[in-house]
């Protein structure tokens, strides 16, 4: 049975397209060029920040976030950046009396932004707020603690086999991979995918899958 579901944020709940477009603009790089390099970085299994360093070798994320804020163009996201299926999915899962949470690798400003969106969730956690980032086992240990139950009754939903599904399952949780966003389309790990409970292309699919799973008593 599943009684708790946690979601990754970027690429799962939040569409990061506009966010990365603003980074291309900030770096003075054509958006198409930035996107192409971004995809190559992901395909090589590198940290996404290597995209920025391809154009500015001395790039430091914290420094650039401060510079952007000082220049009046801070990194941000809002209601318009939520995937269209996100809010309805979270609502439907809450209606099944499940504990629902968000837990992802996000900078310091993101937690307040997520709370301001008033999403129908019980827990919001970020790597900046928790002081530990995915795919560290400590991150998923924290997810389990926040869920307040047994790891085996929890499902983690994300777009990445490396940062989301594999470490969640290593922590004893079930996993669901969603295929969207750059990581969801570029990264592929069949061995991880075969062990996931669900594979979806839209969050709209998830509430019915969970309901059927629980009704079957699996």
- Which tens digit of pLDDT belongs to each residue from 1-37? 999 999 999 999 999 999 999 999 999 999 999 999 9
Phi, psi at 36, each rounded to 5°: -65, -45
pLDDT greater than 90 at residue 72: yes
Side-by-side strand order, sheet with 4-7: 123-126, 99-104, 4-7, 154-158, 174-178, 198-200
Conformation bin of residue 131: beta by default, left when phi > 0, alpha when psi is -120 to 50: left
**What token pair was written down for 202?**
């839209």
pLDDT greater than 70 at residue 218: no
Quick one: which of 56, 76, 50, 53 has its CA closest to 65?
A: 76
pLDDT, tens digit, 9 for 90 and up, residues 141-175: 999 999 999 999 999 999 999 999 999 999 999 99
pLDDT, tens digit, 9 for 90 and up, residues 82-95: 999 999 999 999 99
- What is the share, in percent, of the chain residues with pLDDT greater than 90? 96
**Residue boundaries of the structural domains of the chain:** 4-14+81-215, 17-70
Contact 143, 123 (CB under 8 A): no
Quick one: which of 164, 136, 217, 199 has its CA closest to 10?
A: 164
pLDDT greater than 90 at residue 108: no
CATH placement of domain 4-14+81-215: 3.40.50.1000
**Cα distance from N-terminal residue to C-terminal residue, the chain:** 6
């Amino acid at each position: 049975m599943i009684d708790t579901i946690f979601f990754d944020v970027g690429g799962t709940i939040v569409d990061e397209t506009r966010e990365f477009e603003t980074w291309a603009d900030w770096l003075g790089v054509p958006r198409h060029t930035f996107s192409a390099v971004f995809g190559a970085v992901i395909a090589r299994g590198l940290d996404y920040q290597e995209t920025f360093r391809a154009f500015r070798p001395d790039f430091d994320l914290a420094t650039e976030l401060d510079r952007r804020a000082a220049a009046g163009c801070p990194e941000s996201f809002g209601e318009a950046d939520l995937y269209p299926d996100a809010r309805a999915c979270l609502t439907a899962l809450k209606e099944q009396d499940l504990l629902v949470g968000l837990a992802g690798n996000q900078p310091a400003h993101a937690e307040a932004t997520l709370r301001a969106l008033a999403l129908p969730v019980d827990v919001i956690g970020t790597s900046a707020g928790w002081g530990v980032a995915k795919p560290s086992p400590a991150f998923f240990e924290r997810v389990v603690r926040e869920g307040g139950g047994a790891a085996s009754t929890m499902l983690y939903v994300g777009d990445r086999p490396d940062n989301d599904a594999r470490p969640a399952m290593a922590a004893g949780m079930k996993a669901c991979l969603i295929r969207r966003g750059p990581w969801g389309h570029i990264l592929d790990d069949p061995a991880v995918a075969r062990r996931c409970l669900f594979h979806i292309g839209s969050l709209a699919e998830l509430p019915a899958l969970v309901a059927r799973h629980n009704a079957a008593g699996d």
